[in-house]
Amino acid sequence: MTGYHPIPRDLRDELAAAGLEPDEVMEHILRALEEDLPGGGVDPTSVATIGADAAARGDFNSRELGLVAGLGVAAATFHVVMGDAVTITDRTADGRRVEPGTRVMTVAGPTRGLLTAERTALNFASHLSGVATATAHWVTALEGTRAKVLDTRKTLPGWRALQKYAVRCGGGVNHRFGLADLAMVKDNHVIAAGGVVPAYRAVRERFPDLPVEVEVTDLDQLVALLDEGCDRILLDNMSPELMREAVVITGGRASLEASGGLTLERAAKVAATGVDFISVGALTHSVSVFDLGFDLTEQ
């Protein structure tokens, strides 16, 4: 696509320090802009209603209570559209808690460019702030226990790095990024291999250096895996009472992850069993966007 600009070096460095690949962020932004302006065309509404030399300033404002994330990506979007013609100030740090009515970023530059980039920038920041806010609710629910909240691979296609970044902003912990990072033996693998122990052994033999986690549904499977030396076990859809027994049986020999049908209302009770992690797909697959708005303040 033509007519766009690179992400500034200081912002690239900031994204990289946050664990995001700047070139991938750039590709995200370009794909999003292409949805709005195929081929790098013009915004007809802005061209018709706003003079070519008009300049303005606008504020990103929080309209609810929560955590912000993705403001660096939003800032990068304005730079991609307007290059050095845009000035961004007063940007709130990602992961910061904000109240309704809080100004989280100010953007100044050519009015046409501001309004062309506005929706794309808001889409990034609103969704990622929603993920961070949802994660923070789980972190709060687990306070006072040893359990940490994990994300999953149930992410929007193409958005995994950004969503997992937002989980970190909310105080959560990233699980594996992809299939090759950790062997996760699930129920279908167990059926195909003929049991949890054969499945675990098969992975260990084929990929001896790869971390392995195995899903279990009862205590007999748990004991069998502990005897094999498995040090990562997922307790699938177990009751809190059964999880508590699993923690006692394990005695610290493996990390235990609770998964399946978990809700915020049940979080504290599950965490109180002594499990190490609680995995929550809803952090990324069904989160509500955070209500951010962009309002021009002067022209």
124 in the same domain as 39: yes
Q: Is the dihedral of CA 22, 104, 158, 76 positive or negative?
A: negative
Q: 151 and 56, same structural domain?
A: no
Contact yes or no for 233/222 (Cβ under 8 A):
yes
* Two structure tokens written together for 110: 């050519």
Q: Which amino acid is at 267?
A: A
* Exposure string for 261-272, b = 16+ CB within 10 A, e = fewer: ebeeeebeebbb
Give the single-character DSSP code of 50: S
The interaxial angle of helices 22-36 and 71-82, nearest 10 deg, is: 60
In a structure prediction context, what are the per-residue pLDDT tens digits for the chain, which is 299 residues long? 458 999 999 999 999 999 999 999 999 999 999 999 988 778 899 999 999 999 999 999 999 999 999 999 999 999 999 999 999 999 999 999 999 999 999 999 999 999 999 999 999 999 999 999 999 999 999 999 999 999 999 999 999 999 999 999 999 999 999 999 999 999 999 999 999 999 999 999 999 999 999 999 999 999 999 999 999 999 999 999 999 999 999 999 999 999 998 999 999 999 999 999 999 999 999 999 999 999 998 76
pTM value?
Answer: 0.95
Q: 98 and 20, same structural domain?
A: yes
Bridge partner residues of 133 (DSSP)? none
Query: Residue 214: which CATH number?
Result: 3.20.20.70
- The DSSP symbol for 91 reads P
| Residue 1 covered by a domain | no
Do 156 and 293 lie in one domain? The reply is no
43 plus 113 within the same structural domain: yes
- What's the total number of domains in the chain? 2
Dump pLDDT digits (tens) for 14-48.
Answer: 999 999 999 999 999 999 999 999 887 788 999 99
- Token representation of residue 225: 């895996």
Q: What is the pLDDT of residue 79?
A: 98
Residue 267 lies in a domain: yes
102 and 195 inside one domain? no
Instruction: Give yes or no: residues 170 and 115 share one domain.
Output: no
Query: Which residues have a catalytic role annotated?
Result: 119, 154, 186, 215, 236
Considering the domain architecture, whether residues 293 and 281 belong to the same structural domain is answered as no
Strand segments, DSSP code E, in 204-245 are: 212-216, 232-236
The structure tokens 């709130």 sit at 92
Residue 164 and residue 29 share a domain = no
User: Nearest to residue 133, comparing CAs of 264, 273, 257?
Assistant: 264
Q: Which domain holds residue 272?
A: 140-285
In a domain, 73, yes or no: yes
* Residue/partner pairs of 216-224 with CB below 8 Å, 24 or more apart: 217/187, 218/242, 219/245, 219/246, 219/249, 221/196, 222/246, 222/249, 222/250, 223/249, 224/196, 224/197
| Same domain assignment for residues 20 and 87 | yes
The token duo for 2 is 């033509």
- d(CA 276, CA 258) in angstroms, rounded, equals 8
